[in-house]
Structure 1
Amino acid sequence: MSAPESSRARGVDRVIGIFRQLHLAQRPLTMRELIEATGAPRSSVYELVTILAEAHCLEIAEDGAVFFGREMHYYGSDYAQHNDLISRSHQAILALVRKHDETAQLCTLEGNKYTVVLSENSSRPFNISSEIGVKVPIPWTATGRLLLGHLSVDEIRALIPEEDFVLDNGKRVDFADFLRDIERAAAQGYCCTEGLSHTFRYCMAAPILDRSGATTAALCFMTSRDTDPAKREVMLEDLIRSAQALSKF
């Protein structure tokens, strides 16, 4: 790679780094915070932020804080409208939330982590949810157990970092138990977990299949562990029915 090409590639990497850090922070960052978070040279960050602000991809507040600009909203909206699964899943999630008043999400894997692609919260003052796009260890989730059903034991072991089996409360997910959960989820066509990534969280997930029958994503409900079992049963039935409607058999 020639010197100009290498320089341009570094510039693209730094732009991606700026976007990623703003997304992870979920708030405007000062220039100092951006420089520290990205590890890029001060002059490069200032130059790129200026260029991106002129293109309305970023906005600079009066106090100098930087966040996404309106152009990013347009690009995201375009993607959602033209991605068939996301577009249809959004309508399904809205319908589930309207009926059950519980947080519903579209979830998938990104590399060796789990992430939320779409999320709609319940209307209640207290609800349980996860941030869109934030990467979470796979063993912490019901969805992860569904999405690994096509992998061998060796592939699963190689995919998940050892530290990801430790929950945020310090407890460790036993690998053998994790494998049994994956097998059970594949056999029953859904997965429910309780108190893993959040002490009071009860998560249920139903698979969205592609034309080959592989699980590519999942619809999820996030509710409380004290939710009435009868309500949970109805929620799970509706969740499975909605995921089947989104699947491409």
Structure 2
Amino acid sequence: MPRVTARESAGGTQSVERALSLLSAFNEEHPERRISELVTATGLGQSTVSRLVGALVNLGYLTHHGRSGLYGIGPRVITLAGIGLNQSPVHQQSRQLAQNLASSLGLGVNVAERHDASLFYLCHFEGANAPRPSTLIGRGGPLHATAMGKALTSELPPDELRSLLGDQYARYTPHTLTSFDELSGALQEVRSRGYATELEELAFGRACVAAPIRDRSGQIIAALSVSGPLSAMNLPARQDELAMIAIEHADQISSNLGYHATVTALPH
């Protein structure tokens, strides 16, 4: 096996980092880019960007639309994403259940994990009364402004929660919780009733109910939510019903992951 010199190793690492920075320049706001835009977004030279983009196209990580001159994410990235998703035990145990629930309720049903200070969607199914033009799978979201985020962080110690999110949070609507004290109060309510709610805290006109999913040890590792437009969710009349449904299905996924809740008998 040929020996790799330090210079070759460093150069190879730099090329990988630069290629990944190009891929990272594609996001929800900019799903397609021109070479000039990639130069601006990454700070790399035009010749470097052109060379790396050509290699990424040849390998299937990017596609090139000849008429427009735009580049976009290629099929190889989608293949790798599917492989990673299918390896997730949470995704494996929740996918069919979430899909069936979305169909029966006519609402959106999502499953997400927490990745550092944001949530990460693993499953997303639309019901007839909660259509969306694009999937949420792979997207992130704020922990403080979503029912999913509250469910995911509901049992974090206060010091850990503050270290993770800080004291002040971004405001998305007038209903968003924007301080540590407000969030702490909301999480106390989540712990006491076993589910979290979201009412126009992230976006106007939408509501959500979420319940935690636990692993074998009892630790919260994911959350399941039922969501949709205010009119379809109708929380004033259906909150208890939808909360129980979310809890039951989250508990089923937890059980499939090996979690078994212990019930302590009350003294006579």
| Same fold at TM > 0.5 | yes
Identify the residue that residue 247 of structure 2 maps to in structure 1: 240
* 2:127 is the counterpart of 1:99: no
Identify the residue that residue 185 of structure 1 maps to in structure 2: 190
* 2:38 is the counterpart of 1:34: yes
Superposed CA deviations along residues 62-106 of structure 1, whole A, max 9, x for unmatched, are 122111222222222222333232123221221111001111111
Q: Answer with 190-199 or 131-140: which moved more.
A: 131-140
Q: d(CA) in 1 for partners of 2:253 and 2:105?
A: 19
Could you tell me how far 1:139 is from its partner in structure 2?
0.9
**Runs of 5+ consecutive residues of structure 2 not aligned to the other structure:** 260-268
How is 1:110-129 mapped onto 2 (pairs within 5 angstroms)?
A: 110-124=115-129
Contact 1:219 1:243 in 2 (8 A): yes
Amino acid aligned to 2:56: L
TM-score (norm 2): 0.82
Distance 1:186 1:96, change over 3 A: same
Identify the residue that residue 196 of structure 1 maps to in structure 2: 201
Contact 1:100 1:235 in 2 (8 A): no
Contact 1:103 1:128 in 2 (8 A): no
Could you tell me how far 1:22 is from its partner in structure 2?
1.6
Q: d(CA) in 2 for partners of 1:176 and 1:14?
A: 41
In the alignment, which of 17, 22, 29 is matched to residue 21 of structure 2? 17
In the alignment, which of 2, 8, 14 is matched to residue 4 of structure 1? 8
Percent of residue pairs bearing the same amino acid type? 21
Amino acid aligned to 2:125: E
Q: d(CA) in 1 for partners of 2:180 and 2:110?
A: 26
How is 1:63-212 mapped onto 2 (pairs within 5 angstroms)?
A: 63-124=68-129, 131-163=136-168, 165-169=169-173, 173-212=178-217
Q: d(CA) in 2 for partners of 1:129 and 1:146?
A: 24
Amino acid aligned to 1:45: V
Contact 1:138 1:144 in 2 (8 A): yes
Superposed CA deviations along residues 197-247 of structure 1, whole A, max 9, x for unmatched, are 112221111111011111111111222333334444333222222111111
Amino acid aligned to 2:108: T
Q: d(CA) in 1 for partners of 2:73 and 2:101?
A: 30
**Runs of 5+ consecutive residues of structure 1 not aligned to the other structure:** none
Q: d(CA) in 2 for partners of 1:162 and 1:137?
A: 14
Q: Answer with 125-134 or 234-243: which moved more.
A: 125-134
Amino acid aligned to 1:182: L
Could you tell me how far 1:111 is from its partner in structure 2?
1.5
Could you tell me how far 1:27 is from its partner in structure 2?
2.2
Distance 1:35 1:131, change over 3 A: farther
Contact 1:128 1:224 in 2 (8 A): no
Superposed CA deviations along residues 109-137 of structure 1, whole A, max 9, x for unmatched, are 22212232321223347659884333333
Distance 1:130 1:80, change over 3 A: closer
Task: Specify the SS of the correspondent of 1:72.
Answer: helix
Identify the residue that residue 48 of structure 1 maps to in structure 2: 52
Task: Specify the SS of the correspondent of 2:27.
Answer: helix
Could you tell me how far 1:152 is from its partner in structure 2?
2.1
Amino acid aligned to 2:217: S
**Number of aligned positions between the proteins:** 248
Distance 1:162 1:31, change over 3 A: farther
Q: Answer with 14-23 or 215-224: which moved more.
A: 14-23
Could you tell me how far 1:162 is from its partner in structure 2?
4.5
